[in-house]
């Protein structure tokens, strides 16, 4: 059976892993960190813990449970999902690639939009959230990647394969890497007529750009969905009752789909996504 790759090791991701691995699927879980849940202190509204439980302990218990059943956990930051010859290729910021027959996205809803003036006005008119989707349209033009971490560097690498003139703008932050060189000035706003024409910095200087690719922080559900062509509504991935997206073999669960942002709901989502992904993998033979 082909591999199920799960993005995120919170309640939704781990629940998906538990059901899929018990059904016989090889499962790999990718997670950069413990996510938004880890910021909670004491959880007192989840079934079975009469004195409550800390978020960190609940996460650790779930991860250990999945590992005990045979799921693999890799601490890696995912930067994209692509169609591959044998299913899907899940790309990570360290340059690795995992082949998957099916994927469950359970990484939360962060949409890392920096507070730059006029950014919404130029979305689709020079401002993009996906290098692999839109880079082709900027060949022989000058573009910027806005971000300071591994995700920004990986988007830069994608664009450099297509476009000669690419600059990373860290928007006032220190880059998390030594190469390539970056412009670290704070950005004030985007300007242009119908399309993006220039970026104005907080110090009053400006520079001409034809495109700006937003790659702040890590790739969350919104960014991954945009890259793959999943249907989204606001910052949520659209799924049916089986947690299936509009692309066969791709499922979504937890806070990145509509509904209450609660652990109980995330566990339910994960259970459905995991069992449906298992059925899909079995259908592939």
| Secondary structure in 3-state letters for 105-153 | ECCCCCCCCCCCECCCCCECCCEECCHHHHHHHHCCCEEEEECCCHHHH
Question: Do both 91 and 26 map to the same domain?
Answer: yes
Question: Do both 172 and 252 map to the same domain?
Answer: no
Domain range holding 248? 4-110+219-284
Question: Do both 12 and 78 map to the same domain?
Answer: yes
For residue range 41-100, what is the model confidence (pLDDT) as tens digits?
A: 788 899 999 999 998 999 999 999 999 999 999 999 999 999 999 999 999 999 899 999
- The band of 110, judged by pLDDT with boundaries at 50, 70 and 90, is low
For residue range 180-232, what is the model confidence (pLDDT) as tens digits?
A: 999 999 999 999 999 999 999 999 999 999 999 999 988 888 888 988 999 99
Question: Do both 160 and 239 map to the same domain?
Answer: no
In a domain, 119, yes or no: no
Q: What is the CA radius of gyration of the chain?
A: 20
Question: Do both 141 and 280 map to the same domain?
Answer: no
Question: Do both 35 and 96 map to the same domain?
Answer: yes
In a domain, 37, yes or no: yes
Whole-angstrom Cα distance, residue 153 to residue 75? 18
Q: Domain end: 166, 195, 214, which one?
A: 214
For residue range 130-160, what is the model confidence (pLDDT) as tens digits?
A: 888 789 999 999 999 999 999 999 999 999 9
In this structure, the strands spanning 211-214 and 142-146 are parallel
Q: How many CB atoms lie within 10 A of CB 181?
A: 9
Helix runs in the chain, H state only: 11-22, 55-68, 131-134, 150-160, 221-228, 263-284
In a domain, 18, yes or no: yes
Question: Do both 11 and 72 map to the same domain?
Answer: yes
Question: Do both 102 and 48 map to the same domain?
Answer: yes
Q: What is the number of domains present in the chain?
A: 2
Mean of per-residue pLDDT scores for the chain: 93
CATH code, 152: 3.50.50.60
Question: Do both 264 and 203 map to the same domain?
Answer: no
In a domain, 115, yes or no: no
Question: Do both 163 and 133 map to the same domain?
Answer: yes
In a domain, 121, yes or no: no
pLDDT at position 58: 94
Q: Which three-class secondary structure state does DSSP give residue 95?
A: coil
Question: Do both 173 and 50 map to the same domain?
Answer: no
């Amino acid at each position: 059976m082909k591999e199920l790759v799960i993005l995120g090791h919170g309640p939704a991701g781990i629940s998906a892993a538990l059901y899929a691995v018990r059904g016989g699927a090889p499962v790999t879980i990718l997670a950069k960190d413990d996510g938004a849940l880890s910021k909670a202190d004491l959880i007192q509204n989840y079934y079975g813990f009469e004195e409550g439980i800390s978020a960190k302990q609940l996460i650790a218990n779930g991860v250990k449970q999945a590992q005990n059943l045979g799921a693999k956990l890799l601490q890696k930051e995912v930067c994209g999902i692509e169609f591959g010859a044998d299913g899907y290729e899940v790309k990570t910021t360290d340059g690795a690639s995992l082949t998957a027959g099916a994927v469950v996205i359970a990484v939360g809803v962060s949409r890392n939009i920096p507070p730059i003036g006029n950014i919404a006005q130029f979305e689709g008119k020079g401002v993009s959230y996906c290098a692999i989707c839109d880079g082709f349209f900027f060949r022989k033009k000058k573009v910027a990647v806005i971000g300071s971490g591994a995700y920004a560097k990986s988007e830069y690498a994608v664009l450099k394969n297509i476009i000669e003139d690419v600059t990373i703008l860290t928007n006032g932050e220190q880059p998390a890497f030594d190469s390539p060189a970056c412009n670290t000035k704070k950005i004030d706003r985007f300007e242009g007529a119908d399309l993006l024409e220039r970026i104005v910095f907080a110090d009053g200087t400006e520079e001409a750009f034809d495109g700006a690719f937003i790659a702040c922080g890590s790739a969350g559900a919104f960014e991954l969905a945009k890259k793959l062509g999943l249907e989204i509504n606001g910052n949520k991935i659209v799924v049916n009752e089986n947690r299936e997206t509009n692309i066969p073999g791709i499922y979504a669960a937890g806070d990145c789909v509509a509904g209450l942002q609660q652990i109980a709901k995330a566990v339910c989502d994960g259970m459905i996504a995991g069992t449906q992904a298992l059925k899909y993998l079995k259908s592939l033979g």
